[in-house]
C-alpha cells in the first residue's frame, strides 16, 4: 500500500508535466522547482526516508530518478 495519497501523486505528476510543456528554460525550471518543493514536503509529511523510496511510491505515475540500476550491484 502506498504512503502517498492518489491526489498528491496526481498533483505532483501534473507539476512535472507542466514543466515539460513550458518552452523557456527559466519557466520550466521554476515549474520543476515547485515540484521539488512538493517532493520534500511530501517526504516529511508521509514519513518517506529517501528519494528512492519516494520514487517507488510513484511507480504508476512518474519517475523522479533518471537512472536506476539495470542489474544488482
- Among 27, 49, 31, 28, residue whose Cα is nearest residue 40: 49
11-41 pLDDT tens trace = 998 998 899 999 999 999 999 999 999 999 9
For the chain, the C-alpha Rg in angstroms (whole number) is 13
Task: Note the pLDDT of residue 34.
Answer: 96
Q: Is residue 48 within 8 Å of 64, Cβ to Cβ? A: no
Cα distance between residue 17 and residue 20, in whole Å: 5
Backbone angles phi, psi at 54, to 5 degrees: -60, -45
Segments in 22-62 forming alpha helices (H):
25-46, 51-57
pLDDT band at 64 (very low <50, low <70, confident <90, very high): low
Amino acid at each position: 500500500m502506498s504512503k502517498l495519497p492518489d491526489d498528491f501523486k496526481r498533483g505532483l505528476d501534473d507539476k512535472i508535466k507542466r514543466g515539460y510543456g513550458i518552452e523557456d528554460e527559466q519557466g520550466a525550471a521554476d515549474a520543476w522547482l515547485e515540484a521539488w518543493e512538493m517532493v520534500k514536503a511530501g517526504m516529511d509529511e508521509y514519513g518517506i526516508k529517501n528519494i528512492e523510496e519516494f520514487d517507488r511510491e510513484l511507480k504508476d505515475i512518474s519517475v523522479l530518478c533518471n537512472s536506476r540500476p539495470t542489474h544488482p550491484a
